[in-house]
Amino acid sequence: MKNFSTVVTRAAAAALVACVVAGPVQAAECSFKANAPDQHRVVKGDTLWDISGAFLEHPWCWPQVWGMNREEIRNPHWIYPGQIVYFDRARGRLSLTRPGGGDGGDAPLLRLSPQVRSEGLERGAIDAIPAGLIEPYLTQPLVIEQDALAGAPRIAASAENRLYLGTGDRVYVRGGLQGATEFQVFRPRGPLKDPQTGAVLAHEATYVGTVRLVKAAAPGVDVHTMTVSGSVSEMGVGDRLLPAPPPTVRNYVPHVPLVGIDARVMSIHAGVTHAGQNQIVTVNRGSIDGLDVGSVLQLYHFGKTVADPEGSKGLFGLKKPTLKLPDEQYGSLFIFRVFGRVSYGLIMQATVPVEVGDVAKSPE
């Protein structure tokens, strides 16, 4: 597991621990489970989703019962193994302090300056969702948006005209480098089309490895010189490059999207037609549409249109009357990586297979 480095705002963390702004949960959809435990001791391997689900009917209600604001959702207080999450039944909230402790009042809001925390996740905070399931999708270019593909540099030639390239081989790259020196190499695949409009929103890609800049193109020279620093499959002339992304912070809070989202499942990883729990899908909404990392969407099959057995027949009996059934909600989707018009989601629960074209929308 890679290390991460991020700034933790202690004032926000203390506010989360104190939960001074969280009152009893009012909305029925954010109710606690009837058999919710009084407390849960966090252990290594727990996820925020699992802990939420132990207390709440819907894990995405976590921010509401902790009284988190928008900034705290984006930069949450980390929860670590060994801590105890308490269910304060009287106040209808969760807390990291025992209910009724001290003088019975709310814990004070500590005002401390921010600090930088840098450590391996295996020794630190729990993940929001199982990290191993989404690791490649956080760092590898498996979805390429239209504008990024159009401007991506490409491997134009190789030393000694080698057909396939491996670690240590020299390659020549044509295109703008945007000041970067480390690159990921990918091979474009088929387009990702919006199931609703038919428009191409992005392209799927196969990640093949990494290259490192040796010498930028000099005046009168058309290509940059690079070496292959790593490969996971055969790399060759025509493959494209993207600057290597910065380290990604992986702890985020499950929450209802800040705006109403009505999306469709656009593709299922590996090109299969059906998917189940713990598999990855793309949806046709992204940051431009107001979707953000940590958003939870509910999955639906479109309601079927069936014959009305007792309805009156149409004119001259030519058209048999029908009934439109409601969409059937069957699962939930956790959004963990967001592009402009496309997002990755991990299927958290599904009682039936997920299909391309299924509805993914904000919880009702």
Q: What is the pLDDT of residues 159-202, one digit of tens each?
A: 888 878 889 999 999 999 989 999 999 998 889 999 989 999 99
pTM to 2 decimal places: 0.76
2 pLDDT tier (thresholds 50, 70, 90): very low
Question: What pLDDT does 91 receive?
Answer: 86
**Does residue 315 sit within a domain?**
yes
Confirm whether 109 is domain-assigned: yes
Please check whether residues 53 and 143 belong to one and the same domain: no
- pLDDT score for 123: 52
Q: Is 143 in contact with 192 (CB distance < 8 Å)?
A: yes
Whether residues 28 and 115 share a domain: the answer is: yes
Q: Which residue has the tokens 């046709």?
A: 284
Looking at the structure, do residues 212 and 276 belong to the same domain, yes or no? no
Q: Are 183 and 275 in the same domain? A: no
Domain boundary among 213, 243, 273: 243
Cα 26–256–11 angle (5° rounding)? 80
Please give the Cα distance from 353 to 331 (Å, whole number): 9
Tokens of 298: 């509910």
54, burial (CB in 10 Å: exposed 0-12, middle 13-18, buried 19+)? middle
pLDDT single digits (tens) 84-134: 999 999 888 888 888 876 433 343 333 333 333 333 443 578 888 888 888
Count H helices and E strands in the chain, helices first.
6, 22
Question: Domain span at residue 268?
Answer: 262-361
Give domain status of residue 285, yes or no. Answer: yes
Give a yes or no: residue 277 inside a domain: yes
d(CA 326, CA 285): 23
CATH of the domain at 323: 2.40.10.410
> Is residue 254 situated within a structural domain?
no
Convert the pLDDT of each residue in 200-217 to its tens digit: 999 989 899 999 999 999
Q: Which residues pair with 155 in a beta bridge?
A: 173
Secondary structure of residue 326 in the 3-state scheme: coil
Distance CA 346, CA 222 (A): 42
Domain check: are 214 and 323 in the same one?
no
Q: Which residues contact 276 (CB under 8 A, 6 or more apart)?
A: 347, 350, 353, 354
Residues 92 and 191 in one domain: no
On whether residue 249 sits in a domain, the answer given is no
Regarding whether 314 and 269 lie in a shared domain, the answer is: yes
pLDDT at 101: 63
pLDDT range class, residue 15, cuts 50, 70, 90: very low
Cβ within 8 Å of residue 163, ≥6 positions away: 236
56 and 79 belong to one structural domain: yes
The tens digit of pLDDT for each residue in 46-96 reads: 998 999 999 999 999 988 888 787 777 776 667 889 999 999 998 888 888
Task: Tell me, yes or no, whether 163 and 122 share the same domain.
Answer: no
Q: In terms of domains, do 10 and 111 share one? A: yes
**Residue closest to 166 by CA, chosen among 223, 240, 229, 238:** 229
Mind listing the pLDDT tens digit for each residue in 292-349? 999 999 999 987 788 877 766 655 556 678 888 888 899 999 999 999 999 999 999 9
At residue 134, the pLDDT reads 87
Count: domains in the chain: 3
Q: What is the pLDDT of residue 11?
A: 32
Tell whether 133 is covered by a domain: no
Residues 325 and 225 in one domain: no
Rounded to whole angstroms, the Cα distance separating 185 from 167 reads 13
Classify residue 355: in a domain, yes or no.
yes
108 and 13, same structural domain?
Answer: yes
